[in-house]
Structure 1
Amino acid sequence: MGKVRKTKKNTYNYNIDRKKLKRRAKKKAAPRIPCEPIRNAWDYRKSVATNLAEMGLAADPNKLLPICEGTTGNTNVKQRTVRKPYVVDALKAAASVPSKQTMGISSDMVMYVRHMVENYGEDYKAMARDDQNYYQDTPKQIQRKINLYIRHHPQEYQALLASRTKP
């Protein structure tokens, strides 16, 4: 004789629209704010415009500083109270930090450009005919590579040109 099953078996509920449930849950979930100072000062019970106004930021720049036609000064600008000024200070500090250059130049490119500049100076047509031009770069392509090198290493480029002119 078989045993009576005491737990209810998990069955699929056909009356629930799972797509709609997922959409609702997505709307309810708060968005991830990538900026740390703003995220720390954010109040989820308030609207976006209110939060940004308290931080001293503008949700709509057109409403912040309206353009007045026919007048030289902007006289109808409302004075706003900033309750969280530390957010703007943190954003200014983060903006003033120099960014890391993620795109550098490979060592092969540096060697290639140094060889070309040492031997030919700024004669790009002669560089295009050089034996070390393995990829058969055109004079314009070589010029772009040299300009990229100049942007990343300006002092070294000047030293290369100076050493080329002195025999």
Structure 2
Amino acid sequence: MPKAKGKTRKQKFGYNVNRKRLNRNARRKAAPRIECSHIRHAWDRTKSVRQNLAEMGLAMDPNKAVPFRKRKVKPMEVDMEERPKELVRKPYVLNDLEAEASLPEKKGNTLSRDLIDYVRYMVENHGEDYKNKKMEVE
């Protein structure tokens, strides 16, 4: 099938385009990578950050999530009207985060295998003599 006239033309290199700036601006405008896998899989790109977090049961602003009001007069029972809670459509994200947080933390303060072998060697050869003493020549 023939192509439309004028649609095929040689690609020309744009010498006046700064490729470094172009790539940097593209990286800046791109959405950041979400590190948490639970949140990343449930994320909807068509919605805002606030809407996404509200659907997962998370708060964007902790100050607004747990309001702290200073009142001198105690409110009456009639005045206590709870605002409607936002609908949590993705509760599995919150459940997964809670389950991951409740796991025991792995101890990361162990020494390397080489260092343990070196210390064992030094203790076997020198015992508890850890002070730096000069060698006595007989």
TM-fit CA distance, 1:28 = 3.5
Structure 2 unpaired stretches of 5+:
1-8, 133-138
Superposed, 1:107-126 pairs within 5 Å as 107=116
Report the Cα distance in structure 1 between the residues aligned to 2:30 and 2:53, rounded to whole angstroms.
19
TM-fit CA distance, 1:10 = 5.5
CA deviations over 1:132-154 (Å, ceiling 9, x no partner): 235xxxxxxxxxxxxxxxxxxxx
Report the Cα distance in structure 2 between the residues aligned to 1:100 and 1:17, rounded to whole angstroms.
48
TM-fit CA distance, 1:64 = 1.3
- Residues 65 and 77 of structure 1 are in contact (CA less than 8 Å); yes or no, is this contact kept in structure 2? no
TM-fit CA distance, 1:102 = 2.3
Please provide the CA RMSD for this pair: 3.3
Whether 2:92 is the aligned partner of 1:86: answer yes
Q: TM-score, normalised by structure 1?
A: 0.53
- Residues 33 and 39 of structure 1 are in contact (CA less than 8 Å); yes or no, is this contact kept in structure 2? yes
Partner of 1:31, secondary structure, is coil
Report the Cα distance in structure 2 between the residues aligned to 1:110 and 1:87, rounded to whole angstroms.
46
Describe the shift of the 1:49–1:109 C-alpha distance in structure 2 as closer, same or farther (beyond 3 A).
farther
TM-fit CA distance, 1:89 = 0.4
Bigger fraction of residues in helix: 1
Amino acid at match of 1:87: V
TM-fit CA distance, 1:84 = 0.5
CA deviations over 1:9-57 (Å, ceiling 9, x no partner): 854421x343442243123322111111101100011111110011000
Partner of 1:44, secondary structure, is coil
Structure 1 unpaired stretches of 5+:
1-6, 116-129, 135-167
Report the Cα distance in structure 2 between the residues aligned to 1:41 and 1:55, rounded to whole angstroms.
8
- Paired residue for 2:52? 51
- Residues 56 and 85 of structure 1 are in contact (CA less than 8 Å); yes or no, is this contact kept in structure 2? yes
Q: TM-score, normalised by structure 2?
A: 0.63
- Paired residue for 2:15? 13
Describe the shift of the 1:10–1:57 C-alpha distance in structure 2 as closer, same or farther (beyond 3 A).
same
Report the Cα distance in structure 2 between the residues aligned to 1:108 and 1:86, rounded to whole angstroms.
46
